[in-house]
Amino acid sequence: MKKYFIILNVLLITGMLYFSVKAFYRIATAQLDYGSPAETVNREVTSSENETRQPLAHYDPIIKRNLFNTKEEEKVEEKKEEPEEKNEELEETKLKLKLWGTFTGDTEEAYAIIENIKEKKQSLYSEGDYIPDFQDTIIDQVLRQEVRLLVKGKKEVLRMEEKKSGSKRTSRKRGRSSERRASASSSREDAKKISLKRSEIEEAVSDINTLMKQAKIRPHFKNGKPDGLTLTRVKRNSIFTKLGLRSGDILTGIDGNDIESVDDALKFYNSLKSASNVDVEVKRRGRMQHINYSIDDE
């Protein structure tokens, strides 16, 4: 009997422990609020919808602090957009060349008359041309009264001789103008009149290279000062002979304006292209003459 009594006590103690532990877990889990999955989702959606969007000014402190290094990148981009370096001062070329004049007007191409001093030969060049007898020398750019060269890849400049400036030049111009006005009334009465077709002039002027081969044009100097343009080696049946010009003529003025450089000759050509009447002053065998051109449009 004693043995059965001991077994019964063990069973009772075990049952009490079981129900005590089960009651403890039920109380502990009852205090936890898991919530349903649907409630959790609704709570997240509601919180995200209730968030307010901030204006851009709200983020200014972040931009000023440059947390993402964006300002440095902008500076780099701005530097890339900056223009290239300004034209540097080019060294005067030491080549034995002389620039007589440039054509930089409204023509499609710019031209330069350059003389090989050693050979005493003048030639007409345009941008991209090689200069014979001067190895690896290219005409890079033709500007007014100067030409930029590429000599073995190095940039150099060839300039025209500087003109005299100041009061002497002004007084000389005034003297020439007064002489022109004094002789204008008498000489223009005896002016040679020549009629031309505008189509002939336009055809001649359209090809400057061929035009320059029909005569040799170079500045004329008097007492070391420019005094017009000299025409030599004028070919027969050229536009120059049609204009009534001869070898040895010195062009001194166009419509009352002085001619002192080859650039000024371009004004003569342009006047013939656009005007209906052009008056040219020519010194022939020491005497001043006038040629009046009448251009017909057909």
Write out pLDDT tens, residues 185-205: 445 556 789 998 888 888 877
Q: What is the pLDDT of residue 166?
A: 43
Given a contact cutoff of 8 angstroms between Cβ atoms, the answer to whether 99 and 219 are in contact is no
Segment 261-276 shows an average pLDDT of: 73
Distances (CA, A) of 115 to 110, 120, 132, 224, 262: 17, 6, 11, 19, 14
Half-sphere exposure of 95 (CA within 13 A, CB side): 29
Lowest mean pLDDT among 59-63, 75-79, 94-98, 207-211: 75-79
Interatomic CA distance for residues 228 and 145, integer angstroms: 16
Task: Please tell me the total count of domains within the chain.
Answer: 2
Read off the pLDDT band of 78 (50, 70, 90).
very low
Segment 269-295 shows an average pLDDT of: 86
Interatomic CA distance for residues 113 and 102, integer angstroms: 6
Q: What is the pLDDT of residue 97?
A: 92
Q: For residue 254, what is the domain's CATH number?
A: 2.30.42.10
- For 272, counting Cβ atoms within 10 Å of its Cβ (0-12 exposed, 13-18 middle, 19+ buried), the class is buried
| Closest by CA position to 265, among listed 104, 97, 99 | 104
Give yes or no: residues 155 and 171 share one domain: no
Write out pLDDT tens, residues 30-50: 655 555 555 554 555 455 455
Interatomic CA distance for residues 101 and 113, integer angstroms: 5
Q: What is the overall mean pLDDT for the chain?
A: 73
Give yes or no: residues 176 and 288 share one domain: yes
Give yes or no: residues 134 and 195 share one domain: no
Segment 266-282 shows an average pLDDT of: 79
- Domain holding 139, by residue range, is 91-159
Q: For residue 125, what is the domain's CATH number?
A: 2.30.30.830
Given a contact cutoff of 8 angstroms between Cβ atoms, the answer to whether 250 and 228 are in contact is yes
pTM reported for the whole predicted model: 0.49
Give yes or no: residues 173 and 240 share one domain: yes
Last residue of a domain, one of 112, 128, 159: 159
Read off the pLDDT band of 283 (50, 70, 90).
very high
